Copies of this chain bind each other. A is one copy, B any other.
Amino acid sequence: MTLLVQKYGGSSVADADKIKQVAHHLAQAHKEGNQVVAVVSAMGDTTDELIALARQVSRHPPEREMDMLLSTGEIVACTLVAMALRDQGLEAISLSGAQAGIRTDAGHSRARILGVDTQRIHQELEQGRVVIVAGFQGVTEDMDITTLGRGGSDTTAVALAIALKAQRCEVYTDVEGVYTADPRIEPRARRLDEVSYEEMLEMASYGARVMHNRAVELGWVYEMPILVASTFRSGPGTLIHGGANMEVRNKVRGIAHEVDVAKVTLRGVPDRPGIAATLFQTLSQAGISVDTIVQNASVERLTDLTFTVSRDHLEKALEMTKKVAKQIGAGDCLGDATLGKVSIVGAGMQTAPGYAARMFQALYQEGINIELITTSEIRITCLIDEKRVPDAVRVLHKAFELEQA
């Protein structure tokens, strides 16, 4: 018998009708002879509503309490899915993260999974039950409830699939898979049948938000295949895996983009060891998450340092950077909040430098100015004017002939 782990996000369980549809979906998989474990997120806006409630009683809700509060959202959803399944005549049981044996460290609001005690789940599966697990949560050694942070339910699903030695982890969402670009911007964008873990990581971190990187990384480390597909439309979806069956490599697989990017440039930085460390330690301590960092070549022992942050962190980042600039005797500090990112993603691009040239050429011909360039092994990213991001996606999609399989 095949064991499947399926994950359903918040929009898939947003109301009673959708919950019934999810139950139907699960019943189908069960009737096809599979053992089924489902991980569900909180219904629709539940988490936001609970956060708002907490803010009404406390200016700084303690993380330990916040975790216990938020964990109820997923528990509500998973009991309702279990009820709907029972209503359709199937044996089903809901389990909280603690009951499902999801053991984590005590890092409240961002806990890491230490292990999964699968005994209870196996016991329920052996009795022919569909097991519904509350995503996003776990339990510490001291029986305190933790949450896993952003993308937590994806991570729960992949961790369970690994611990249960499932055939694969299926992530059901409101899109039909991973596309060559965002279909809302480029209508000719094509669903990919399969992508590698590393390509998925670059696609997701650069804006094609289908599932969370942390879960993809976990899948990669344990080589757990992940299928991303639509909850409410049948279709093959996209298989994220690292198998030998991958499509031709050395090819651009997709265009990722991101808006809401802000840039901070610190001019005239003395070229001494430890300077960058001082700056980024200060920012990290202030809770500012820095994305891309670029340091230009040193001219006369002075260098320019540029980094990007999310837009809502810009003000604080500028403030901190100015303080550090004074300390280390650097020059001006400039911020720019009107930027976006566009990236081409594909395995093995670094060894085929023609891609970069083709990318820059396409943007140039469209009159789009490049503010900053960064690359990884499988990605080339340009920072551009936010307003030009949709144009850039379309022109790159065409330049790399992504409308054709």
A309 nearest CB across to chain B (Å) = 29
B residues near A61, Cβ cutoff 8 Å: 83, 86
B residues near A144, Cβ cutoff 8 Å: 99
From A90-98, A204-212, A281-289, A340-348, the one touching the partner chain is: A90-98
A57→B94 contact, CB < 8 A: no
- Is A53 interfacial (CB 8 A cutoff)? yes
B residues near A53, Cβ cutoff 8 Å: 16, 76, 80
Task: Please measure, in the bound complex, the distance between the C-alpha atom of A79 and the C-alpha atom of B68, giving whole angstroms.
Answer: 7
B76→A59 contact, CB < 8 A: no
Q: Which of B59, B86, B143 contacts A62 (CB 8 A)?
A: B86
- Is A178 interfacial (CB 8 A cutoff)? no
B84→A68 contact, CB < 8 A: no
A83→B65 contact, CB < 8 A: yes
Chain B CB count within 10 A is highest, among A80, A84, A87, A98, for A80
- Is A19 interfacial (CB 8 A cutoff)? yes
B residues near A79, Cβ cutoff 8 Å: 54, 65-66, 68-69
From residue 24 to 65 of chain A, which have CB atoms closer than 8 A to chain B?
A: 50, 53-54, 56-62, 64-65
Contact with B along A219-253 (1 / 0, CB 8 A): 00000000000000000000000000000000000
- Is A82 interfacial (CB 8 A cutoff)? yes
- Is A20 interfacial (CB 8 A cutoff)? yes
Q: A80-B69, A94-B68 are in contact. Are A16 and B56 (CB under 8 A)?
A: yes
Task: Please measure, in the bound complex, the distance between the C-alpha atom of A82 and the C-alpha atom of B75, giving whole angstroms.
Answer: 20
- Is A11 interfacial (CB 8 A cutoff)? no
Q: Which of B19, B54, B64, B76 contacts A69 (CB 8 A)?
A: B76
- Is A72 interfacial (CB 8 A cutoff)? yes
Q: A16-B57, A76-B72 are in contact. Are A65 and B87 (CB under 8 A)?
A: no
Q: A16-B56, A87-B59, A99-B143 are in contact. Are A50 and B65 (CB under 8 A)?
A: no
Residue in chain B with minimal CB distance to A99: B143
Task: Please measure, in the bound complex, the distance between the C-alpha atom of A19 and the C-alpha atom of B58, giving whole angstroms.
Answer: 10
B residues near A80, Cβ cutoff 8 Å: 53-54, 57, 69
Q: Give 20 A-B contacts (CB < 8 Å), ordered by A residue.
A: A16-B53, A16-B57, A19-B57, A23-B57, A54-B80, A57-B81, A58-B87, A60-B87, A65-B82, A65-B86, A68-B75, A68-B79, A68-B94, A69-B79, A69-B80, A69-B83, A72-B72, A98-B143, A99-B144, A120-B143
Top 3 A-B pairs, shortest CB-CB distance: A16-B56, A72-B72, A58-B83
